[in-house]
Structure 1
Amino acid sequence: MQAERLFAENEGNVAFSIGEFDEELYHVVPLETFPIKLLVNEQDPLSEQESVTIEDLKNRPLYIESSQFAIYHLIMKKCEEAGFQPDIAFQTSGFSLCHKMVKENKGISVTVDFVFDDMKEQGLRLIPFSDDVYEWKACMITRKEEAENEAVQCFLQFIQEWIGKIKSGEIIR
């Protein structure tokens, strides 16, 4: 959220962030979309389920990134739509504390595949949501009132090629 705020205040000429953006104000280039999944300890009863719903968060200690992050707002919105407030045990500024608390079986969290893979923690399981779309959509944005100069266009091309190499397995994230 801080990157978006600074960009709205005319800091920089390119921003990368997660979510939906006002396409009246910005040129939005979706880069990659990752499904958000529930993170549970393998000893948690939910670990035996093939999928979960937002209702499975009800009355469970939830470790989640703070309101400065898009994933927080998405999960809060889904819970509100389902008619409940989640039991937020702790808000953090990074996924690592969430993973640590779930590993200690203190609660549940939400994350995306590549963060889960990067943490490489034994005893944890990711479970997809089946009741709605839960996505972490990474985008590059530029301001509509500013022409995208050659440097920005070259940078975007580089980013898109880099993502393509990750997807093809040529490089590892």
Structure 2
Amino acid sequence: MEIKQLKYFLEVCKHKSFSKAAKEIYITQQGLSKAISNLEEEIQYPLFHNTTKGIKVTKYGEYLREKSEHIVYEFDSIIEEFNKMSHTNEGTLKVCFSFGVFNALSPEVISGFRETYPNVELIIKTYPDSICEEVVMNENVDLALSIGPVNEKNFYSTIVKKQWPCILVNEKNPLSKKKSVDFRDLKNEKLIILNEKFHFHHNFINKCRESGFEPNIFFTTSEVITVHKLSHLNEGTGVSIDFIANDIKYPNVYPIPFKDRSFVWEVCLITKKGRFESNLVELFKNYVLSC
């Protein structure tokens, strides 16, 4: 027995006519008759019978009408309350940021959201990419801003921003004379890059393999500033992102872009598939996309 069936049943009781009830609730008379027949079949008792003056409610129908009016009213009250809750901009929202994302986005994202929605308690956590996905999957946070590519089997994702990777070349390295580099140019380089907890690490290695070689990963770290410092000391060739290279500048280090423009650093907003999304998630998502 479904609420919709009870609503249909009450409409027929009200109008004492299938045709009038069907018109009132915007379905066909055939569809309404079928719904009532299914209800009668389920409860195994007749609800209406035909007379020369039209249809009449049976004693079973009268009893069902008495009981179902309260049920339908309570159900509608619940839905109405849900709708109110869904439009209430207050509560707690837990957001996870991958390392580096804060700097890539507008600095006003967090402060601006808090100012716009003062009744929302925004709890911020920061992790490497793989941990961001893990905490979203385990529902420890409501959403995350992480780096693509995203596992589309488990998550919904929206690209928020794209940045372009670059290499960090010490002035003593012959590559410093180049305007841009192919991945093949890095075949014999000692490479310094973020570690395997970051998607950027795996994306870079895959691009090198597509170019026919296994990269010589000399040093990995969880802190991108270390990549820049070691490049400054000429310990190897760093792999970073353009906006970070613009912030961390050493006079003897040259950031050089890749010719391959399909190699990108994408900030993605991710939520778990199959999980109910509150209106606060939608609020934050829309706010971030508008910045």
Q: Shorter-normalised TM-score: what interval?
A: 0.7 to 0.9
Partner of 2:235: 106
CA contact (8 A) 2:149 2:199 kept: no
TM-score, structure 2 normalization? 0.53
Match runs of 1:59-138 below 5 Å? 59-131=188-260, 133-138=262-267
Partner of 2:132: 3
Which 10-residue stretch deviates more, 103-112 or 152-161? 152-161
The runs of 5 or more residues in structure 1 that have no matched partner are 163-173
SS of structure 2 residue aligned to 1:151: helix
Counterparts of 2:256 and 2:232, CA distance in 1: 15
Structure of larger gyration radius:
2
Which 10-residue stretch deviates more, 124-133 or 87-96? 124-133
Partner of 2:158: 29
> Which has the higher relative contact order, 1 or 2, with Cα contacts under 8 A spaced 6 or more apart?
1
Deviation at 1:24, TM superposition (A): 4.1
Partner of 2:76: none
Partner of 2:271: 142
Q: How many residues align?
A: 162
Letter in 2 for 1:79: C
Match runs of 1:50-65 below 5 Å? 50-65=179-194
SS of structure 1 residue aligned to 2:164: strand
Residues 39-80 of structure 1 show CA distances to partners (whole Å, capped at 9, x for unaligned) of: 111232111111111111112111111000111101111112
Partner of 1:157: 286
Instruction: Kindly indicate whether residue 181 of structure 2 is the aligned counterpart of residue 49 of structure 1.
Output: no
Letter in 1 for 2:219: F
Partner of 1:166: none
Deviation at 1:132, TM superposition (A): 5.3
Q: 1:71 to 1:160 in 2, by over 3 A?
A: same
Residues 9-64 of structure 1 show CA distances to partners (whole Å, capped at 9, x for unaligned) of: 23211011101223343221110011111111123211111111111111211111
Deviation at 1:95, TM superposition (A): 0.8
Q: 1:151 to 1:132 in 2, by over 3 A?
A: closer
The structure richer in helix per residue is 2
Letter in 1 for 2:197: Q
Counterparts of 1:58 and 1:26, CA distance in 2: 35
SS of structure 2 residue aligned to 1:22: coil
Letter in 2 for 1:136: W
Percent identical residues: 33
Letter in 1 for 2:250: E
Counterparts of 1:31 and 1:131, CA distance in 2: 21
